[in-house]
Structure 1
Amino acid sequence: MKLFKAALLAAVLTMPMASVATFAATPADVLVVAQNIDDIVSIDPAEAYEFSSGEYVTQTYDRLVQYDAPDVKVLAPGLATEWAADDANKSITFTLRDGVKFSSGNPLRAEDVVYSFKRVVMLNKAPAFILTQLGWTPENIDSMVTADGNKVVVKYDGDFSSAFVLNVLAARPASVVDAVTVQANEKDGDFGNAYLKGASAGTGAFILKAFRPGELINLDANPNYYGGAPAMKSVIIRHVAEAATQQLLLESGDVDMAKNLTPDQISSLAGKDAVKVETYPQAAVHFLSFNQKDEALTNPAIWEAARYLVDYKGMTDSFLKGQMEIHQAFWPKGFPGSLDDTPYSYDVEKAKQILADGGVKTPMTVTLDVINSTPFTDMAQSLQASFAEAGINFEIIPGTGSQVITKYRARTHEGMLLYWGPDFMDPDSNAKAFAFNENNADDNYQSTTTWRNGWAVPAELNEETKAARAEADPAKRNEMYIDLQKKVQADSPIVIMFQAATQVAMDKKVDGYVNGATSDFVFYRLVKKN
């Protein structure tokens, strides 16, 4: 029977998608996932900067410290079993776990960690800024990260707390690679970048068997994984762009999971015996913002009234049901330091009074840039209808994602409907985006919502953001971020409305799947088929 199923699976992977639905169930020790993975540019952990590539990196690599299954809300030991922070001298000393081996069989060494961090800095690919913000440069990296037996000493330069640095080191580009294997495959000084676009060299629970861009990722279980071998012998993530095809494959038993179904499709699965749907809060927050380079939008009364003109419940009870929840602060729910209060609700009369008291003349027209796809266009139409009740008329300007974001970066919009996700799971990642902007000059480009909306953040918020980043006491630090969120929530041109959620449909036999708030926190190693 196992031989038959193996042959069947091979057939599934090579047949056109239209023919797949005629086959039987997947093998008991193989997890097959239908997912849109065409966003992948690179699977090298020093370059991977997309959602799908982040998910892949988590399966095949580990970090010194990491948010790990089953509890992805806790920063836990990874390749380091313990660490000692010296805030005064801005350093952290990590002690490596004994007996860990890479998939090649090579033992984990402190030198591998040093090489891994150095290659991120030297390659300087998209996610490198996450590590280089610690003051690391090509010129000083050899002195900032050093090996000492089974210990790694990490130094940093800046007003950071060790808690902040640990969260940085739990981020994707801090994944540790097998230096011996990667160096053996370097070409023309590329630090093995070309090699790691088609191979894995980590200590993770899975090993890359095959990667075909826009087609599939095939992972084999690592039997020697220090956290215990996965129950699934193989995980196959098949690129299926069409949500309807994903649903068809799931219902026919040809895949075990479908990750990109629409709310309507999710609803249609209700009551079906063989399928279940799990909902996982995500770190992305969705917001409406007003460009402060437009004089007509600088009156704080417009910002305040806007908070009462969003039909939060109407949207989450209808076309956003199950895929977003009401959340009105910049740090996502479910992580230390989050503010989960939702003080604003749809109240047209209150909004009208705020506008009148603030001297805002209505009617007024505001252009609203929006990505031309669901659910963004539906959200824009809801905002258009609800804001019109108070005399603010949105003229919707749809565009592709790249068009909208390019306009946002150029600060040429009026109103903007977009979303934001943290680059790493530390509240400073979002505080810098929503509560900090010391230099609002046009020639001082910053990848933040504050700068892109031309908002010169009050000095008080700037100073509090810097102080929170440097605060060593975790409890006090969290309190500072909650206070920052309350202030931004009450008085800023950025109206945070929702926190995203992802819904994954799966065969009822599947158990143990872990999906955290970002793609970096997706884990297959605990999956079983009961």
Structure 2
Amino acid sequence: MTFEPTFRTAGLALAAALMLGASPTVLAAATPADTLVLADGIDDIVSLDPAEAFEFSGIDLLNNTYDSLIELDPLKPGELIPGLAESWDVSEDGMTFTFKMKSGITFASGNPVRAEDAAWSLQRVVKLDKTPAFILTQFGFTPDNVDDLIKADGDMLTITIDKKFAPSMFYNCMTAVVASIIDKETAMANEVNGDFGYEWLKTNTAGTGAYVLRSYKPQDSYILEARPGYWRGDAKLKRVFMRHVPEGSAQRLLLEKGDIDVARGLTPTDVQGLAGSPDVSVDADMEGYIYYLAANQKVEPLNNPKVLEAIRYLVDYEGMVNTVLKDKMIVQQGFLPRGYLGEVTDTPYALDVEKAKALLAEAGFPNGIEVTMSVRNDPLRMEMAQAIQNTLGQGGIKVTLKPGAGAEVLGDYRARNHELTLQSWGPDYPDPHTNASTFAWNPNNSDDAKLTGVLAWRTAWDAGEMTAMVDAAVVERDSEKRRVMYEDIQKLHRDTSAFVTMFQEIGLTARRNNVANLHTGGTTDQVTYWYVTK
């Protein structure tokens, strides 16, 4: 989808001396011709280890520094193409997958890519058991059995799973960042106390991607440098320089001046402010991010079904997309993004203050309730949070906002320490199970389960019968039957869960007009830098 008004402006430029270590906030020269300079909020980065990275900004970085066995085609979003494997197959019983590795590909270190590296990388994810490990462990892998189930033999990789799945679902999982192939020799050369190179890889890269990480300053910036001989063809630009600029208004000013090439965190207000500018264009793509409220079911009275229903009627969905979220969001009340198999597009909930007050009275709270809502401290989410705070207050729910940095808010959420939280979620692979398995699946709701990658667990919600429904849908090979199953799950989830699903994001990327071929990945949310030209 393209945001048709072409917005442009004149301007000076930023920053020379990228590689001299100067602070990006004080540089003031033209953006180098061989460097893509971007601004976005990157304070959500927790780790750059593919086995742990699970946040939007970190995944963007890793998508350009690592590759996987199977890739999504940046030029045809959603289409699977060969990555580090040249071919793959599945056995008749649907339980064993084989991959033939491409020859002649090297890591950034110069080490050759081997099936052994692929097996070790996937085994490592399971053994480290960080947040995104569930993408692989759902296939029956454990630290005890993974060495027997994922094996390398020459240039062949064999993966045996514990039950039949729709083969396309398994292949789609192999495109996730957590399935990135790491240079075993380099990682193990930096191993400390048997950590598989984990501490080192939190701030370094060891992949086959078009770029390597040259510099990373948390909550400040990172610099990627192109590596020659990339198997897909060398990156068109020598460097990518990402600046942490969380405020959309600041990004807009930098873009207008020419101090950055691309702004990825503009609010709709910022975009409208660019109207008529002669040197800037704005592209819009339907993205896979779903915005939602999660109510901790350990917290009373948020665990009361009537209270949850009242909250659903106290969000002004249409009002927000017509004002603070204009051109940035659409109303979406199913947990699957539009464009996925089994999408549900009807929106039965709308702002109804009197109905919500009646529901609170039925729940035993005629005088209302008080709740704290945590939210990442960036302009867009704060605008959303304030709008929600206002309409919840109209219905008798007094909300105290608790803003924080992305990593801080996520930390509380993953530790089940929130009350109500405003969050967003992006799919990990282009299959409906990616969201169903986290929003509507929770096989063990105990604190000890530590299913931090499962949103239902994070908010302490027992998914009940939906867990079995999700398990049945993921093994169904008939696409039409699968579609109906996911529709049924979403409708039940929408009406009975601890979540209030509200919006799907439209990605607004503003760029100087000399920038071309920046692919953001559409609903798969995998940004690609190596095709970009200036």
TM-score where L is the length of structure 1: 0.84
- C-alpha contact (below 8 Å) 2:88/2:98 kept by paired residues: yes
1:394 equivalenced with 2:401 (yes/no): no
Residue 349 (structure 1) shift: 6.0
The alpha carbon displacement at 1:319 in A equals 1.6
> 1:107 aligns to what SS in structure 2?
coil
Alignment gaps of 5+ in structure 2: 1-13
**Amino acid paired to 1:481:** Y
Deviations 1:421-449, CA, capped at 9 Å, x for gaps? 44555433322333234555566554444
| Residue number in structure 2 paired with 1:20 | 27
8 Å Cα contact 2:267-2:380 kept in structure 1 = no
Q: Distance in 1 between matches of 2:203 and 2:373?
A: 38
Give 1:76's aligned residue: 81
Return the letter of the residue paired with 2:323. Answer: S
Q: Counterpart in 2 of 1:371?
A: 375
Whichever residue aligns with residue 9 of structure 1, its letter is A
Residue type matched to 1:285 in 2? Answer: I
Q: Secondary structure at the match of 2:16?
A: helix
Equivalent of 1:191 in 196, 205, 230: 196
Task: Report deviation, 1:452.
Answer: 5.1
Question: In 2, Cα distance between the equivalents of 1:359 and 1:197?
Answer: 47
Q: Secondary structure at the match of 2:64?
A: helix
Give how far 1:203 is off: 1.9
Q: Is the 8 A contact 2:426 2:525 kept in 1?
A: no
Is the CA contact (8 Å cut-off) linking 1:369 and 1:404 kept in structure 2?
no
**What is the CA-CA distance between 1:513 and the residue it aligns to?**
0.6
1:10 aligned residue (8, 17, 21): 17
Instruction: From 463, 469, 478, give the equivalent of 2:468.
Output: 463
Does the C-alpha gap of structure 1 residues 453 and 252 become closer, same or farther in structure 2, counting only changes over 3 Å?
closer
What is the DSSP-based 3-state SS (H/G/I as helix, E as strand, rest coil) of the residue aligned with 1:515?
coil
The answer as to whether partners of 1:54 and 1:519 remain within 8 angstroms in 2 is no
Sort the Cα spacing of 1:272 and 1:224 in 2 relative to 1 into closer, same or farther, 3 A: same
| In structure 1, distance between residues paired with 2:338 and 2:282 | 21
Which of residues 206, 212, 222 in structure 2 aligns to 1:207? 212
Q: Which residue of 1 aligns with 2:262?
A: 257
Distance 2:448 2:112 in 1: 48
Distance in 2, Cα, partners of 1:45 & 1:316: 34
Instruction: Tell whether 2:113 aligns with 1:108.
Output: yes
Structure 2 distance, partners of 1:348, 1:112, is 57
Q: CA deviation at 1:182?
A: 3.6
Matched-pair contact (CA < 8 Å) for 1:278–1:503:
yes
TM-superposed deviation, 1:37: 3.2
Task: Determine the structure 2 residue equivalent to 1:246.
Answer: 251
- 1:270 deviates by 1.7
Per-residue deviation at 1:509?
1.5
> Per-residue deviation at 1:473?
3.4
Contact kept? 2:265, 2:509, Cα under 8 Å? yes
Q: Is the 8 A contact 2:149 2:159 kept in 1?
A: yes
Match of 1:54 among 52, 56, 59: 59
State the match for 1:3 in structure 2. Answer: none
**Could you list the runs of 5+ residues in structure 1 that have no partner in the other structure?**
1-6
Find the partner of 2:223 among 212, 215, 218.
218
1:330 aligns with 335
Contact 2:374–2:401 (Cα < 8 Å) also in 1? yes
Equivalent-residue separation in structure 2 for 1:520 and 1:380 (angstroms): 23
Quote the Cα distance in structure 2 between the aligned partners of 1:294 and 1:68. Answer: 44
Q: Could you tell me whether the CA contact under 8 Å between 1:240 and 1:246 is conserved in 2?
A: yes
| Greater Rg by CA | 1
Structure-2 change in CA distance of 1:130 and 1:476 (3 Å): same
Offset of 1:312 from its aligned partner? 0.9
Residue 130 of structure 1 aligns to a residue in which SS?
helix
**Partners of 1:41 and 1:380 in 2: how far apart?**
23
Distance 1:481 1:213, change over 3 A: same
Other-structure match for 1:277: 282
Matched residue, 1:142: 147
One-letter amino acid matched to 2:501:
I
Range moving further from structure 2, 216-225 or 482-491: 216-225
Query: Which residue identity lines up with residue 364 of structure 1 in the other structure?
Result: G
Partner of 2:272: 267
Residues 194-244 of structure 1 show CA distances to partners (whole Å, capped at 9, x for unaligned) of 554554332222233444445543323333222222222322223445555
Match of 2:133 in 1: 128
Q: Distance in 1 between matches of 2:225 and 2:376?
A: 38
Give the structure 2 partner of residue 514 of structure 1: 519
Match of 2:168 in 1: 163
Change (3 A) 1:210 1:412: closer
Distance across 1 between alignment mates of 2:109 and 2:444: 48
How far is 1:258 from its partner? 2.1
Residue 528 (structure 1) shift: 1.7
Once the two structures are TM-superposed, the CA of residue 84 in structure 1 deviates from its matched residue by: 1.4
Work out the CA distance in 2 between the residues paired with 1:397 and 1:241.
19
Correspondence for 1:494 among 495, 499, 508 = 499
1:341 equivalent in alignment to 2:336: no
- State how far apart, in whole Å, the 1-side matches of 2:523 and 2:197 are: 27
For residue 233 of structure 1, what is the aligned residue in structure 2? 238
Could you tell which deviates more after superposition, 401-410 or 317-326? 401-410
2:97 paired residue number: 92
Note if contact 1:30-1:236 (Cα within 8 Å) is conserved in structure 2.
Answer: yes
1:100-125 deviations in Å (ceiling 9; x for gaps) = 33333433221221122233334444
Task: Provide the rounded CA distance (Å) in 2 between the counterparts of 1:122 and 1:291.
Answer: 29
1:287 and 2:307 equivalent? no
Of the structure 1 ranges 301-310 and 89-98, higher mean CA displacement relative to structure 2 is found in 301-310
CA contact (8 A) 1:146 1:153 kept: yes
Q: Secondary structure in 2 aligned to 1:207?
A: strand
Q: CA deviation at 1:515?
A: 1.1
Q: Secondary structure of the residue that 1:121 maps to in structure 2?
A: helix
Match runs of 1:31-50 below 5 Å? 31-50=36-55
- Provide the rounded CA distance (Å) in 2 between the counterparts of 1:512 and 1:313: 33
Q: 1:333 is paired with a residue of what secondary structure?
A: coil
1:355 and 1:26 mapped to 2: Cα distance? Answer: 58
Q: Which shifted more, 403-412 or 315-324?
A: 403-412
- Residue 398 (structure 2) pairs with residue 432 (structure 1): no
Structure 2 distance, partners of 1:252, 1:92, is 52
> Percent of aligned pairs with the same residue?
41
RMSD over aligned CA atoms reads: 3.5
CA–CA distance in structure 1, aligned partners of residues 443 and 125 of structure 2: 28
- Write the distance in 2 (CA, Å) between the matches of 1:378 and 1:215: 23
Q: Structure 1 residue 527 and structure 2 residue 532: aligned? A: yes
**8 Å Cα contact 1:316/1:324 also seen in 2:** yes
The verdict on how the C-alpha distance between 1:523 and 1:120 changes in structure 2, with shifts beyond 3 A counting, is same
How far the C-alpha of 1:343 sits from its partner, in A, is: 3.2
CA positional deviation for 1:94: 1.3
> CA 1:161–1:244 in 2, change beyond 3 Å: closer, same or farther?
same
CA separation of 1:479/1:129 partners in 2, compared to 1, >3 Å: closer, same or farther? same
User: Are the counterparts in 1 of residues 357 and 396 from structure 2 also a CA contact under 8 Å?
Assistant: no
Say whether 1:173 aligns with 2:182: no
